[in-house]
């Protein structure tokens, strides 16, 4: 039973355009959400996070939006660059426990020059 779902295995966008990666979750106890980026042959690296008390968090070209009623979050990358090509994992955790992250399967983003 997947509690964090990334329904798009892959996404391809043109350089300079917006990339939107989506994530849905089923566990209403999740209250902290993270996005990780993973290049081949490397471990996942933290990108951006959002607490459930917010609906938006922005860091440079990266913005995460959270819609709690829909149990949905999205990562926007604007403008997209070829170096953004990687697998993006959505992850979630519950209150009081930073220790357990539940991951989605990831979305492979390809940014074409």
Q: What are the CA-CA distances from residue 44 to residues 35, 40, 41, 55, 105 (Å)?
A: 9, 9, 10, 24, 12
User: CB of residue 17 vs other proteins: minimum separation in angstroms?
Assistant: 26
Comparing CB distances to other proteins, the nearer of 69 and 98 is 98
How far does CA 51 lie from the centroid of its chain?
13
**Residue 89 contacts other proteins per CB under 8 A:** yes
3-class SS of residue 104: coil
- Residue 110 in contact with residue 83, Cβ under 8 Å? no
Site string for other proteins, 53-72 (x = CB under 8 A): --------------------
List residues near other proteins by CB under 8 A: 2, 4, 9, 32, 34, 36, 41-46, 49, 51, 89, 93, 96, 98-106
């Amino acid at each position: 039973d997947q509690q964090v779902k990334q329904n798009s295995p892959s996404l391809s966008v043109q350089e300079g355009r917006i990339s939107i990666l989506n994530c849905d979750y089923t566990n209403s106890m999740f209250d902290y959400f993270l996005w990780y980026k993973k290049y081949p042959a490397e471990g996942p690296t933290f990108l951006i996070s959002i607490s459930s008390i917010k609906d938006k968090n922005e860091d440079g070209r990266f913005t995460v939006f959270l819609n709690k009623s829909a149990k949905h979050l999205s990562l926007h990358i604007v403008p997209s660059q070829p170096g953004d090509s990687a697998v993006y994992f959505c992850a979630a955790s519950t209150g009081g426990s930073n220790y357990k992250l539940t991951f989605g399967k990831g979305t492979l983003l390809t940014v074409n020059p």
